[in-house]
Amino acid sequence: MAVEVINVPEAKRYEARQEGETELAGIAEYIRTAELVAFVHTEVPAKYEGKGVGAALARASLDEARAANLRVLAICPFYTGWIARHPEYQDLLCVNNVRTPFTALDEQSADNRRFLLRHIEVAAQLPTIRRVRRRALEAWDLQDPGRLLDVGSGAGEVVRDLAALVGPAGEVIGVDNSQAAVDFARERADAAVVRYDQGDALALPYPDDHFDGVRCERVLQHVVDPDAAIAEMVRVLRPGGRVCLIDTDWESMLFDGTPQLGEAYRKLAPALPAATSTGRTLRRRLVTAGLADVSAEPVTVAITDYAEAAALMSVVDRAVLQGPLLNLGETAEPWLAEVDRAVADGTLLAVLTIWVVTGTKPAP
């Protein structure tokens, strides 16, 4: 008997029924953003197992994703296995979970580019980020550096701050894959020793053993192959030079005062376009890359101010969740309403861990 599948957007699921019947034969639940659909749960009652219901759900939903030009994230084990057995659908899959608006900044609309660059600039002023950067600079432990590199320099504010460390004879370079970010940073350059280049973290445009120090902050979570990017940083670092990596462990994010938000984030996190546990992996990655004197420090922050939480955590920022970047619409409304209530009664608490990891390139 044929299986009919329909999309029920208000329930955020596909429903399957055998032809001519009203009883549900199976469901496939999903989370959808403007660019991606994540399949999170599939269920077929025992009486319908072995009748092609799961396959019908997968085929119909994936065909619809293709027609809508959506990337697919297979969180549900059934979808993972089914797509593995049907290579004609594998081109829909995200290579991994890291393509974000920041990795494709130049592909965004002019309004979105301005929003994202302004977001980076505002975040740099947050007490949380200032605290993390102070600790990172201490851990980096630079000794009279002459050349420094900031990989993924964004709005360029760190490059400008580092200029004081190298003196008038030194050089600080910021490299970013976005030409829009490079232009934005160049407009704000205020020192002769500062330079901004467009370049790929996976193929840095600099010679071997060139820099005394290399840093990379909250960038590797957006990179397709973090280990390859780290290998490039090590390549351009001189023997004895120091690398400093800073990144977030999004899976450490906790909330109080907003029960629905915590549960919603737990369900939504796998579908958000960022590698959620990058921070905790940095020590292992540096050890594997052959660095010496590797040190890892978690910097845990507790935020009660909504403006700071929204600038650092998009999950509480209405402009991000319901704006053109993620376009979650009504999906986000229940937990955003809860955030509004927690802000109003003063109970909002958001906790997050950011890792600072340093190492030294050994002599050959």
- Please name the amino acid found at residue 110: A
226-229's contacts with Cβ under 8 Å and 24+ in sequence apart are 226/275, 226/278, 226/281, 226/285, 227/285, 227/288, 227/289, 228/202, 229/151, 229/201, 229/202
d(CA 124, CA 239): 31
Residue that the structure tokens 């919603």 belong to: 264
Q: Is 186 helix (H, G, I), strand (E, B) or coil?
A: helix
- Please name the amino acid found at residue 91: D
User: Per DSSP, what are the bridge partners of residue 28?
Assistant: 14, 42
Over 50: is that where the pLDDT of 298 sits?
yes
Average pLDDT, whole number, for the chain? 87
d(CA 82, CA 57): 11
Answer whether 19's CB lies under 8 Å from 48's CB: no
Average pLDDT over residues 143-171: 94
Over 70: is that where the pLDDT of 262 sits?
no
Answer whether 21's CB lies under 8 Å from 10's CB: no
d(CA 68, CA 364): 52
Where helices occur in the chain by DSSP H, the ranges are 53-67, 77-85, 110-123, 127-140, 157-166, 179-188, 226-236, 259-268, 278-288, 306-312, 318-321, 333-345
What CATH class has 3-92? alpha beta
Average pLDDT over residues 39-44: 89
Rounded to a whole number of angstroms, the CA Rg of the chain reads 23
Over 80: is that where the pLDDT of 266 sits?
no
Answer whether 90's CB lies under 8 Å from 72's CB: no
Tell whether domain 105-360 is in CATH 3.40.50.150: yes
User: Within a 10 A sphere around the Cβ of 241, how many other Cβ atoms?
Assistant: 23
What does the pLDDT read at residue 290?
97
Packed helices 226-236 and 278-288: angle between N→C axes, nearest 10 degrees: 50
- Kindly state the percentage of the chain with pLDDT values over 90: 57
Answer whether 123's CB lies under 8 Å from 101's CB: no
d(CA 315, CA 132): 21
Domain ranges of the chain: 3-92, 105-360
d(CA 35, CA 56): 23
d(CA 221, CA 47): 43
What does the pLDDT read at residue 277?
80
> Which region among 147-151, 187-191, 228-232, 324-328 has the lowest average model confidence (pLDDT)?
324-328
pLDDT in tens, 48-99: 999 999 999 999 999 999 999 988 877 777 888 898 889 899 888 764 434 4
- pLDDT bin (cut points 50, 70, 90) of residue 311 is confident
d(CA 211, CA 160): 17
